[in-house]
Amino acid sequence: MRVPRANSREKILAAAADVAREAGPGSLSLDAVASRAGVSKGGLLYNFPTKAKLMQGLVESYLSDFQKALDARAAEAGHESVLSAYIKLSADDCEQPKPSASWIFSAIAEDPDFLTPIKAFKHQLFERLKGETQDLGSLLVCFLAIEGMRSMNLFDSDVLSEDEHKLLVSSLLKIAG
Amino acid sequence: MRVPRANSREKILAAAADVAREAGPGSLSLDAVASRAGVSKGGLLYNFPTKAKLMQGLVESYLSDFQKALDARAAEAGHESVLSAYIKLSADDCEQPKPSASWIFSAIAEDPDFLTPIKAFKHQLFERLKGETQDLGSLLVCFLAIEGMRSMNLFDSDVLSEDEHKLLVSSLLKIAG
DNA sequence: TTGACAAGACCGTCCAGCCGGTACAGTAAG
DNA sequence: CTTACTGTACCGGCTGGACGGTCTTGTCAA
């Protein structure tokens, strides 16, 4: 029975992220992803001929989503700078108690080189931020603090209370100017 | 052939960290660790009856080393606060280009619960820092920025130049007061 | 001699990737 | 319209290899 067909690719990507988040990054097997996506293993391998390709797909869609979200925020009224847009976006991202990107650990285990595009992306973002700021010290502090926020969220080790989180964000926005 | 004596436990722990760093966290197998440590698989399993125990040993020795290093720094002259000791210690740790703790990724893949002691440790450290500061906002920014520094080092994605790194540290120390 | 410690062959499990099918859509000749 | 052919999307059993953990057999120090 052939269901008309939704875009299997995106369903698979979402399923992979779900599995990594819920069953742990070590349990991200092709079988688990396929069954979660409502697709057979053969179907999965049809879309992503190899596990590495699946990981790559995860990285790419993550990065492009992030780029889009950041641009959207930056275009909104009320942002004096890309930096403050970045701060607010990250603050919102980290409010979800669930890591949402723990598949990254699976990718690293598969091959650390999957980080390369992410590194490049961060570098580019940092350069962009440097271009619009006059106080490099403040930028560094903000940029790294955001990195810390994201890292804590990723490792699911939120030490901060909700109030502390808010205070942190407002402090960062003040530093960002 | 039995080599006279040497604390196999520590050799094994070091070997595991080396393997994870050099071959990638996904390649941390018992066989690899044993051969790297110059020990047979049986010998490895004698010291750590299970892979999980090995990971646990890694976490524990990491944490106790860190605790010792922090206490030593805090006891040194020239530190007004534990926070500044923590900043300087982390800055030094992150100057090594090599992650040194990528075994953490293997541990997470094995079982995310291995993070629990680390979370607890961080929470405790944070409470300790809160006890000696009067400006919570500044503490939050510093604490998270250090977290970001460590995270970048761990992911081997150092976006910062050496000068920027130094500027960051001095900015943090200034904020810490 | 005895027991702490180590060696490495071996076993069961798990998983990525492969392969031989199946269902269906489009096209086009008869 | 129908039959035959082609390409696309998907299915699921299989297998070979890797890995964690066990077991038997040493080996040295006391």
- Percent of chain B scoring above 70 in pLDDT: 95
DSSP state letters, A22-49: HH-GGG--HHHHHHHHT--HHHHHHHSS
Confidence of residue B77 (pLDDT cuts 50, 70, 90): low
- Indicate if the pLDDT at residue B61 is higher than 60: yes
Query: Phi and psi at residue A86, in whole multiples of 5°?
Result: -65, -45
Which bases of strand D sit closer than 7 A to a protein CB? 9-14, 18-24, 26-29
**What's the length of chain B?**
177
Q: Which residue has the tokens 């603050």?
A: A91
C-alpha to C-alpha distance for B153 and B145, rounded to whole angstroms:
12
User: Cβ distance A159 to B144 under 8 Å?
Assistant: no
- Indicate if the pLDDT at residue B4 is higher than 90: no
Global confidence as pTM:
0.93
Confidence of residue B97 (pLDDT cuts 50, 70, 90): confident
Indicate the average pLDDT of chain A: 93
Closest CA to B136 of A148, B89, B144: B144
Mutation target to probe the A interface, by most A beta carbons within 10 A, among B141, B167, B173 is B141
- Indicate if the pLDDT at residue B151 is higher than 60: yes
Taking CB atoms and an 8 Å limit, are B168 and A137 in contact across chains?
yes
Neighbouring residues of A84: CB distance < 8 A, sequence distance ≥ 6: A173, A176
- Percent of chain B scoring above 90 in pLDDT: 85
| Strand C contact with A40 (CB < 7 A) | no
Mean pLDDT lowest for which of A36-40, A60-64, A114-118, B94-98? B94-98
Tell me which of B21 and A100 has the higher pLDDT: B21
The type of residue at A120 is A
- Indicate if the pLDDT at residue A4 is higher than 60: no
Specify the pLDDT at position A105: 98
Q: What is the mean predicted confidence (pLDDT) over A98-115?
A: 95
**What are the angstrom distances between the C-alpha of A3 and each of A8, A12, A38, A47, B73?**
11, 16, 11, 17, 64
Nucleotide nearest to B32 (CA to C1'): D19
CA angle (B155, A57, A146) in 5-degree steps: 35
Specify the pLDDT at position B30: 96
DSSP state letters, B22-80: HH-GGG--HHHHHHHHT--HHHHHHHSSSHHHHHHHHHHHHHHHHHHHHHHHHHSTT-S
Q: What is the mean predicted confidence (pLDDT) over B43-55?
A: 95
Tokens of B26: 């996904």
Query: Phi and psi at residue A6, in whole multiples of 5°?
Result: -90, 175
Q: What is the mean predicted confidence (pLDDT) over B118-131?
A: 97
Neighbouring residues of A42: CB distance < 8 A, sequence distance ≥ 6: none
Indicate the average pLDDT of chain B: 92
Using a CB-CB distance cutoff of 8 angstroms, which residues of chain B are in contact with residue A159? Answer: 119, 122-123, 126
Task: Count CB atoms within 10 A of the CB of residue A40.
Answer: 12
pLDDT tens for each residue of A111-125: 999 999 999 999 999
Specify the pLDDT at position A177: 81
Q: What is the mean predicted confidence (pLDDT) over A72-85?
A: 86
Give me the residues of A, 72-111, that contact B with CB < 8 A: 105-106, 108-111
- Indicate if the pLDDT at residue A32 is higher than 60: yes
C-alpha to C-alpha distance for B140 and B116, rounded to whole angstroms:
21
Residue from the list A119, A144, A157 with its beta carbon closest to the beta carbon of B157: A119
Measured on CA atoms in the order B123, B70, A139, A172, is the torsion positive or negative? positive
**What are the angstrom distances between the C-alpha of A142 and each of B21, B84, B117?**
29, 18, 28
CA angle (A83, A133, B147) in 5-degree steps: 55
C-alpha to C-alpha distance for A167 and A161, rounded to whole angstroms:
10
Specify the pLDDT at position B5: 41
Taking each helix axis as running N to C, give the angle between helix B116-131 and helix B136-154, from 0 to 180 degrees, rounded to the nearest 10.
150
Query: Phi and psi at residue B85, in whole multiples of 5°?
Result: -60, -45
Whether B172 and chain A come into contact, CB under 8 Å, resolves to yes
C-alpha to C-alpha distance for B154 and B148, rounded to whole angstroms:
10
Query: Phi and psi at residue A156, in whole multiples of 5°?
Result: 60, 35
pLDDT tens for each residue of A146-166: 999 999 999 998 899 999 999
- Indicate if the pLDDT at residue A82 is higher than 80: yes
Using a CB-CB distance cutoff of 8 angstroms, which residues of chain A are in contact with residue B141? Answer: 141, 145, 168, 171-172, 175
Confidence of residue B79 (pLDDT cuts 50, 70, 90): low
- Indicate if the pLDDT at residue B69 is higher than 60: yes
DSSP state at residue B113: G
C-alpha to C-alpha distance for B140 and B135, rounded to whole angstroms:
9
